[in-house]
C-alpha cells in the first residue's frame, strides 16, 4: 500500500502543481486511494476490452444449385438422328418385303386398284405354297376346336340325364359315354385356346407373300413377271395416284436398326427445335438391302406434305428402345464421362450429383448401350460440367 501511494504521488506530481496538499489528503484518507486505484483499473480493463474485440465474421454466401437436364430411365425415350429424302410424286412404288419367287401377277398396266388389294403372289419354296398350307392347317385346327363346343353340349345333356331320379340300367352306359366325352374334351382344350390365334398368325405370315397396294390408283408399270426372284426392296410395280403421295425414305446401318423402335413415332426436325412433325413408319425392312442398309419408309398426309419440299433431305429423330433383350439400359451419349481408365455417369441422389462407374457395351448413333441395368426412374444427368457431390436442380 505504501509503494502504491508513493507511485500515485509521483504521477500526480507530474500533472498537478499542488502535490504537497494532495499527498497529505491521500495519507489521511486511504479509502480515497483505494477507490481511485479501482477506478483506474476499471478504465484500463474497458480500454483493453475495446481494442481486443474480435472482428465481425462476414457470412459466406451459399452457392446456388446447378440447373441440369436429365434422362429418366423408363420414362424418357432415347433418340438418334438420321437423314431422309422427300419424294413427292404421283407414282408410288411397290417393293417386295421379303425374298422369294414371283408365283402369280394379279394385275396388269392400266388396272384400277384400291388400297390394300393384293397385286402379286410370292413364294419362298418354288410354288409349294407352304404359307397357304399352314393357313389351311390352322383353320382345320380351329374347326377341330369348335367341335368341342358340340361335345360340351352333349356332356351337359348326359349330366342332366344322370341327375334324374329312378335311375335305370342305362345309367352305366351313360357314365361310360360321359367319361369318354370328357377325355375328348381334355384333348381338345389346347386347340380351343390356340386355334383362333394360330389362324391369325398364319394369315399374317401369309400376307407378306401377297404384296398389296399401299394407296388407291392405277397400275402404271409392272416390273416383274412370274418366275422372277426378288429380294427385300426389289421394285414390283408402280402405282399412279390421283392426288399424289409424299414419302420419306431413310436408310440406317444394321447396328442402329437393331435398336430402332417401330412402336413409337419418329419426328421430322426443323431449324427451330420447338417445331417438329410426328410421323409413323409405314414400312421397315427386316433384312438388309443390297447396299447393306435397312430401309424405313414414311407415308405423309396432305397436311404433313405441305411442310416439306420435294427432292430435299430432312433430319429425322428416330426413337430407340430403352433396353435390349438382356434388359441392359440405353442412355444418351451426352451422359457419358470418359476417363483414362474408366467411364462414368452422374445420377441424382438426394438432390446431389453422384458419380457411378459404368461400362459401355455398344454405341447406337447418339445413344450408348450399357452393360449394366439401371433401376426404373433413375435420373441420369446430362450436364458436362458436374462435380461429384454438387447440389443440383432439374431444368423444366
* Single pTM value for the model: 0.45
Q: Which pLDDT value is given to residue 297?
A: 92
Beta pairing, strands 392-394 & 66-68: parallel
Q: Which pLDDT value is given to residue 3?
A: 45
- CA dist list (Å): 303 to 242, 277, 394: 17, 10, 36
pLDDT tens track, the chain, 396 positions? 444 455 445 455 544 555 555 565 555 566 666 667 777 777 777 777 666 656 655 555 566 778 888 888 888 888 888 999 998 877 788 888 888 888 889 999 989 998 888 899 887 766 555 556 566 666 666 677 677 667 766 766 666 666 555 555 566 666 666 666 676 666 666 555 555 556 555 555 666 678 888 888 889 889 999 889 988 888 999 888 877 778 899 999 888 888 888 888 999 998 766 678 899 888 888 888 888 899 999 998 878 888 888 888 999 999 988 777 778 888 888 888 888 888 899 988 888 888 899 988 888 878 888 888 888 888 898 877 888 888 888 876
Q: Which pLDDT value is given to residue 58?
A: 59
Q: How many CA atoms lie within 13 A of 354 on its CB side?
A: 9
Cα separation, 283 vs 277, whole angstroms: 18
Torsion angle (degrees, nearest 10) of CA 338, 343, 345, 346 = -80
**And the C-alpha cell for 377?**
426412374
Cα separation, 143 vs 351, whole angstroms: 62
Q: Which pLDDT value is given to residue 264?
A: 87
| Helix residue ranges per DSSP H, the chain | 2-15, 19-28, 30-51, 130-163, 170-207, 254-259, 302-305
Q: Is the dihedral of CA 143, 146, 148, 150 positive or negative?
A: negative
Q: What is the pLDDT of residues 55-108, one digit of tens each?
A: 655 555 566 778 888 888 888 888 888 999 998 877 788 888 888 888 889 999
- Distant-in-sequence, close-in-space partners of 267: CB < 8 Å, separation ≥ 6: 276, 277, 278, 279, 316, 317
Amino acid at each position: 500500500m505504501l509503494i502504491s501511494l508513493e507511485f500515485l504521488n509521483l504521477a500526480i506530481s507530474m500533472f498537478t502543481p499542488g502535490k504537497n496538499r494532495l499527498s497529505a489528503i491521500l495519507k489521511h484518507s486511504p479509502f480515497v486511494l483505494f477507490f481511485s486505484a479501482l477506478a483506474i483499473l476499471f478504465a484500463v480493463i474497458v480500454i483493453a476490452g475495446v481494442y481486443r474485440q474480435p472482428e465481425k465474421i462476414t457470412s459466406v454466401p451459399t452457392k446456388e444449385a446447378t440447373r441440369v437436364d436429365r434422362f429418366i430411365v423408363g420414362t424418357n425415350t432415347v433418340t438418334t438422328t438420321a437423314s431422309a429424302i422427300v419424294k413427292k410424286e404421283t407414282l408410288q412404288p411397290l417393293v417386295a418385303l421379303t425374298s422369294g419367287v414371283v408365283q402369280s401377277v394379279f394385275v396388269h398396266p392400266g388396272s384400277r386398284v384400291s388400297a390394300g388389294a393384293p397385286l402379286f403372289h410370292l413364294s419362298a419354296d418354288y410354288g409349294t405354297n407352304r404359307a397357304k398350307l399352314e393357313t389351311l392347317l390352322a383353320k382345320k385346327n380351329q374347326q377341330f376346336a369348335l367341335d368341342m363346343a358340340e361335345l360340351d353340349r352333349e356332356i351337359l345333356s348326359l349330366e342332366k340325364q344322370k341327375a334324374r331320379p329312378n335311375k335305370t340300367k342305362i345309367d352305366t352306359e351313360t357314365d361310360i359315354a360321359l367319361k369318354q366325352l370328357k377325355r375328348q374334351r381334355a384333348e381338345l382344350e389346347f386347340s380351343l385356346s390356340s386355334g383362333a390365334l394360330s389362324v391369325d398368325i398364319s394369315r399374317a405370315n401369309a400376307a407378306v407373300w401377297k404384296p398389296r397396294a399401299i394407296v388407291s390408283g392405277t397400275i402404271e408399270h409392272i416390273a416383274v413377271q412370274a418366275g422372277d426372284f426378288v429380294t427385300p426392296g426389289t421394285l414390283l410395280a408402280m402405282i399412279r395416284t390421283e392426288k399424289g403421295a409424299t414419302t420419306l425414305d431413310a436408310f440406317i446401318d444394321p447396328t442402329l436398326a437393331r435398336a430402332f423402335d417401330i412402336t413409337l413415332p419418329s419426328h421430322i426436325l426443323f431449324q427451330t427445335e420447338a417445331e417438329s412433325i410426328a410421323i409413323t413408319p409405314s414400312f421397315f425392312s427386316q433384312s438388309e438391302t443390297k447396299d447393306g442398309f435397312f430401309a424405313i419408309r414414311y407415308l405423309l398426309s396432305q397436311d404433313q406434305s405441305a411442310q416439306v419440299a420435294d427432292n430435299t433431305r430432312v433430319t429425322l429423330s428416330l426413337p430407340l428402345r430403352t433396353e435390349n433383350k438382356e434388359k441392359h439400359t440405353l442412355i444418351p451419349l451426352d451422359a457419358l464421362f470418359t476417363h483414362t481408365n474408366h467411364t462414368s455417369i452422374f445420377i441424382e441422389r438426394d438432390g446431389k450429383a453422384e458419380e457411378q462407374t459404368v461400362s459401355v457395351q455398344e454405341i447406337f448413333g447418339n445413344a450408348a448401350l450399357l452393360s449394366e441395368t439401371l433401376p426404373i426412374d433413375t435420373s441420369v444427368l446430362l450436364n458436362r460440367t458436374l462435380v461429384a457431390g454438387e447440389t443440383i436442380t432439374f431444368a423444366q
